[in-house]
Chains A and B, each alone.
Chain A
Amino acid sequence: MKQYSDLEYLRLSKGQRFLYKLMAFFMAIPRAIGHFFLNIGVYIKKAAQGVANECKDIVTTFTQGDWKTKTSFVIMGFGNLARGQILRGLLFLLFEVVFIFYMVFTGGYWMSMLPSLGKVGPTSEYNAVLDTYVTAYNDNSFKILLYGVLTIFFIVAFIYTWRVNVEQNKLAEQALRSGKKLKSDKDDLRSMVDEQFYKTLLALPMTGILVFTVMPIVFMVLVAFTNYDGAHNGFSNNLFSWVGLDNFNTLLSWTGGNGGGQSYSATFGEILTWTLIWAFLATFTNYFLGMFVAMMINKKGIRLKKMWRTVLVMTVAIPQFISLLYVSKMFARNGLINLSLLDLGLIKQPLPFWEDPTWARVSVIIINIWVGIPYLMLITTGILMNIPADLYESARIDGANAWQQYRKITLPYMLFITGPYLLTSFTGNMNNFNVIYLLTGGAPTNPAASGAAGSVGYTDLLITWLFKITTGAESQYYLASVVGIMVFVVVAFISLVVYNVLPSIKNEEDYQ
């Protein structure tokens, strides 16, 4: 593509400028992707260098250290204790003891079973006393995977702590050698609410995130490489085991129709396409209509501004499940709208709001506008009022009409400020479970995809499909997990590209 200089660019007509920008956008995508992969190489190189440096440091610490430091390599915290930092030393020691006990008594078992995810499934043996077959449960694949992951986390934490322990010995030695005093326990405690206050503040939230977000995600990503489902629940019927990339092959292979006559990848492609269309329409219809409403209310000379706003804001407050479920039933085949239209004699047949694929898709988008406009109105109102009024003033003097003012002042300003919001809103809409599930539940059913797990419908998003797979009759958790990873890949790809292409992602420090 030809690169224009500023002067050449200014000479282009409006249409040409737009085309140029669009081209530049798409031309930048390969570069953005390339950049990303290039960075991966750099990161790996950096990481390798880091590890090498650490190792070197550990060895020199050991060879040059005194006997206290050397003992600390085996008994963590010994150096601290010997140098009078009782609190630190005890914490290190305690951690080591707990770790060793854990590894000996349970962790070792989980780690040894992790490669196989369990060897002996439930067995059924004849019990002479009870005169019946008694099932004995043996290995539990689910627990092995779960506690295996936990144990790996624990081991990583231990290695890190051990490293900190070594580092502290080194620093303590250096400090003593240069005649400085070491920090006493009292200093340590004080620094927990001062220089190190961030550690105190972050401890609780990060533990929560680690245990209830990170660990489950790692677990579920691993599930994508197993055959964990209702028939292999890892405990009471069959164990599950590693299957490598089989599940990805299942989802992405074009061959092999499933019952309904359509391959998995075709079904996946259809749902993905609809998800993207939905996310695009849902984001931008809400955005522009919400802005439009906000501008109407903001317009000079319109009275009762507060009342209009309150009316709309009220609908934000009402829990979504009430409004969505109610509206869903209102448009149902025998719902309020159809019944009253029939009663009035305006229609002969009930309108197929949720029965016909196209009707259903249009309906969810329109109802989503109803849900989203008040929220967007709130967001845009504040920003609209921040646009400097003299911009409009000078535009008016130059004879610009309302449309030109909107096109040249309002819209660029809004897009610039709300760029990041639009991105998060787009990805949020891709995963907008509530609106789809409460309105249609994915209906109407797509007969061509009936063989795919969890009865796919025309309004299903990837996220509702994932839910259906999980709760469906066969509970194909492995497939749900693969779909989840796909959602992640798509969202991450879009975010990455947009972040690399959009110029308006500003430096956060600018705000402070």
Chain B
Amino acid sequence: MNEKRHMGLRTLNRVSNTSIYVILTIISVIWLLPFVFITLQSFRVESTYQVGYVIPKQWGLQNYINLWNSDFKRWYINTFIIALASAVLITIIQLCMSYTLSRFRFKMRGPLMRFMLILGMFPGMLTMIILYRVLSDLGLTQANAVPGLILVGVASSGMGYYVSKGFFDTIPKSLDEAARVDGATRFQVLCKIILPLSKPIVIYTILTAFMGPWGDFVFARYVAFGTSAGYNVAVGMYSWLTNDQIARMYTTFCAGGVIVAVPVTILFLCLQKYYVEGVTGGAVKG
């Protein structure tokens, strides 16, 4: 009888596993389909607008050629520069901030963290108007939007210290103390002990800082203000889907989407491990 029950459980398990496979397959299909569609449509030649089928009747690279002949190159370079600069500068700023708040106990620490928590509750959009005016006084809007966007993005990045602070909190303090006893300054502790241990979080920060600008939309549009030379990919490609452009540019948009998504996705998949670590740690520590 015991044997029988055991058998029953096993079949039950097999059934539930099979249904899980089915569900997972359906999920994967749903999640990937739009990206398959977008890729297929980017090769469609016969019409430039939305149609009721997915597989092109006539394949070709026309859309990619259109892309090459449009301002897209400029937008791509703009975004790439912003992403690269952000990756370097934001990482430095955030690491300074999070390391300090994790390791030092000074009088203003608590109030400072509470203050930044409260600041974060204001919708960032509110400050767009004034930041735009400040940037335009500095001459960093429209065609010069790139340095302006880097400046604003980097300057306020210190607020996003939570994830990396959570990481530093997990490095035992006794390491610092041991080195301090041996006569190392705080600076030396940071350079020689903490940084070598922080590879995962450094890579995580670089990765997120690099990926952010590819999707940066609202403020970028506000700053570029109708000047194509200052667009990033998101702003530029958004303009292709407005009512008067979509009939001509829809498939070009798809092609652009592929060109933007492929390198970012490959980079992301290579560094996936670090991203997962960062995200999980950040969520646990709040």
A 389-425 contacts with B by CB, 8 A: 417-421, 423-424
A466 touches B126 (CB 8 A): yes
B121 touches A208 (CB 8 A): no
- A373 CB contacts on chain B under 8 angstroms: 31
B211 touches A317 (CB 8 A): yes
- A336 CB contacts on chain B under 8 angstroms: 37, 50-52, 54
Tell me, yes or no, whether A379 is within 8 Å of chain B by CB.
yes
Tell me, yes or no, whether B223 is within 8 Å of chain A by CB.
no
A330 touches B34 (CB 8 A): yes
Give the shortest distance, in Å, between B258 (CB) and chain A (any CB).
9
B 183-230 contacts with A by CB, 8 A: 185-188, 190, 211, 214-215, 217-218, 222
B27 touches A317 (CB 8 A): no
A312 touches B130 (CB 8 A): no
**The one of A194, A327, A463 that contacts B186, using a Cβ cutoff of 8 Å:** A194
Tell me, yes or no, whether A458 is within 8 Å of chain B by CB.
no
Tell me, yes or no, whether B59 is within 8 Å of chain A by CB.
no
- B264 nearest CB neighbor, chain A only: A317
B284 touches A383 (CB 8 A): yes
- A477 CB contacts on chain B under 8 angstroms: 129
Tell me, yes or no, whether B154 is within 8 Å of chain A by CB.
yes
Instruction: With a 10 A CB-CB cut-off, give which of B34, B121, B152, B218 has the most chain A CB atoms.
Output: B121
- A330 CB contacts on chain B under 8 angstroms: 34, 37
Q: How would residues 267 to 286 of chain B score, 1 for a CB under 8 Å from any chain A CB and 0 otherwise?
A: 11100100110011101111
A296 touches B20 (CB 8 A): yes
B158 touches A205 (CB 8 A): yes
B264 touches A193 (CB 8 A): no
Complex-state Cα separation, A463 to B21, whole angstroms: 40
Tell me, yes or no, whether A198 is within 8 Å of chain B by CB.
yes
Instruction: With a 10 A CB-CB cut-off, give which of B260, B276, B286 has the most chain A CB atoms.
Output: B286
Tell me, yes or no, whether A130 is within 8 Å of chain B by CB.
no
Tell me, yes or no, whether A434 is within 8 Å of chain B by CB.
yes
- B46 CB contacts on chain A under 8 angstroms: none
Q: How would residues 98 to 130 of chain B score, 1 for a CB under 8 Å from any chain A CB and 0 otherwise?
A: 011001101000000000101101111111111
- B97 CB contacts on chain A under 8 angstroms: 201-202, 205
- A480 CB contacts on chain B under 8 angstroms: 126, 129
**The one of A195, A213, A329 that contacts B241, using a Cβ cutoff of 8 Å:** A329
Give the shortest distance, in Å, between A266 (CB) and chain B (any CB).
22
Complex-state Cα separation, A321 to B265, whole angstroms: 14
- A305 nearest CB neighbor, chain B only: B24
A329 touches B27 (CB 8 A): no
Tell me, yes or no, whether A488 is within 8 Å of chain B by CB.
yes
- A419 CB contacts on chain B under 8 angstroms: 286
B268 touches A316 (CB 8 A): yes
Which secondary structure dominates chain A's binding surface? helix
The total of Cβ contacts below 8 Å across the A-B interface reads: 268
A325 touches B185 (CB 8 A): no
Give the shortest distance, in Å, between B264 (CB) and chain A (any CB).
6
- B187 CB contacts on chain A under 8 angstroms: 193-194, 197
- B234 CB contacts on chain A under 8 angstroms: 319, 321
- A511 CB contacts on chain B under 8 angstroms: 166, 169-170, 285
B23 touches A296 (CB 8 A): yes
Complex-state Cα separation, A249 to B241, whole angstroms: 39
B261 touches A301 (CB 8 A): no
Tell me, yes or no, whether B246 is within 8 Å of chain A by CB.
yes
- A313 CB contacts on chain B under 8 angstroms: 268-269, 272, 275-276
B265 touches A318 (CB 8 A): yes
Tell me, yes or no, whether B238 is within 8 Å of chain A by CB.
yes
Complex-state Cα separation, A332 to B49, whole angstroms: 12
Tell me, yes or no, whether B143 is within 8 Å of chain A by CB.
no
- B130 CB contacts on chain A under 8 angstroms: 146, 216, 219-220
**The one of A197, A209, A327 that contacts B185, using a Cβ cutoff of 8 Å:** A197
B260 touches A319 (CB 8 A): yes
A420 touches B286 (CB 8 A): yes
The stretch among A23-31, A62-70, A339-347, A443-451 that forms the contact with chain B is: A339-347
Complex-state Cα separation, A219 to B130, whole angstroms: 8
A481 touches B126 (CB 8 A): yes
Give the shortest distance, in Å, between A491 (CB) and chain B (any CB).
5
Q: How would residues 131 to 170 of chain B score, 1 for a CB under 8 Å from any chain A CB and 0 otherwise?
A: 1011000000000000000011011111100000010011
Tell me, yes or no, whether A204 is within 8 Å of chain B by CB.
yes
Tell me, yes or no, whether B81 is within 8 Å of chain A by CB.
no
Complex-state Cα separation, A316 to B35, whole angstroms: 12
Complex-state Cα separation, A320 to B170, whole angstroms: 31
* Given A194-B187, A202-B96, A484 contacting B215 (CB threshold 8 A): no
A382 touches B280 (CB 8 A): yes
**The one of B104, B172, B265, B279 that contacts A197, using a Cβ cutoff of 8 Å:** B104
- B215 nearest CB neighbor, chain A only: A319
Give the shortest distance, in Å, between A399 (CB) and chain B (any CB).
12
Complex-state Cα separation, A53 to B26, whole angstroms: 69
- A9 CB contacts on chain B under 8 angstroms: none
Tell me, yes or no, whether A142 is within 8 Å of chain B by CB.
yes
* Given A195-B186, A325-B237, A484-B122, A212 contacting B155 (CB threshold 8 A): yes
Tell me, yes or no, whether B58 is within 8 Å of chain A by CB.
no
A325 touches B238 (CB 8 A): yes
- A315 CB contacts on chain B under 8 angstroms: 31-32, 35
A220 touches B129 (CB 8 A): yes
B127 touches A213 (CB 8 A): yes
- B265 nearest CB neighbor, chain A only: A317
- A133 CB contacts on chain B under 8 angstroms: none
**The one of B54, B99, B122, B129 that contacts A201, using a Cβ cutoff of 8 Å:** B99
Give the shortest distance, in Å, between B128 (CB) and chain A (any CB).
7
Give the shortest distance, in Å, between B200 (CB) and chain A (any CB).
13
B155 touches A321 (CB 8 A): no
Complex-state Cα separation, A382 to B152, whole angstroms: 34
- B70 CB contacts on chain A under 8 angstroms: none
A212 touches B126 (CB 8 A): no
B100 touches A198 (CB 8 A): yes
**The one of B103, B127, B222, B269 that contacts A220, using a Cβ cutoff of 8 Å:** B127
* Given A212-B131, A508-B169, A467 contacting B125 (CB threshold 8 A): yes
Q: How would residues 239 to 276 of chain B score, 1 for a CB under 8 Å from any chain A CB and 0 otherwise?
A: 00100001000100110010011001101110010011
Complex-state Cα separation, A484 to B269, whole angstroms: 37
Tell me, yes or no, whether A311 is within 8 Å of chain B by CB.
yes
* Given A302-B17, A323-B34, A378-B276, A193 contacting B215 (CB threshold 8 A): no
A-B contact pairs, 12 of them (CB 8 A): A204-B93, A212-B152, A311-B31, A316-B275, A321-B238, A325-B237, A326-B38, A326-B257, A382-B284, A487-B122, A492-B118, A512-B172
B residues in contact (CB < 8 Å) with A: 13, 17, 20-21, 23-24, 27-28, 30-32, 34-35, 37-38, 50-54, 93-94, 96-97, 99-100, 103-104, 106, 116, 118-119, 121-131, 133-134, 151-152, 154-159, 166, 169-170, 172-173, 185-188, 190, 211, 214-215, 217-218, 222, 233-234, 237-238, 241, 246, 250, 253-254, 257, 260-261, 264-265, 267-269, 272, 275-276, 279-281, 283-286
The 10 lowest CB-CB distance pairs between A and B, nearest first, are A420-B286, A339-B52, A205-B158, A382-B280, A208-B155, A317-B268, A216-B127, A193-B187, A484-B126, A197-B186
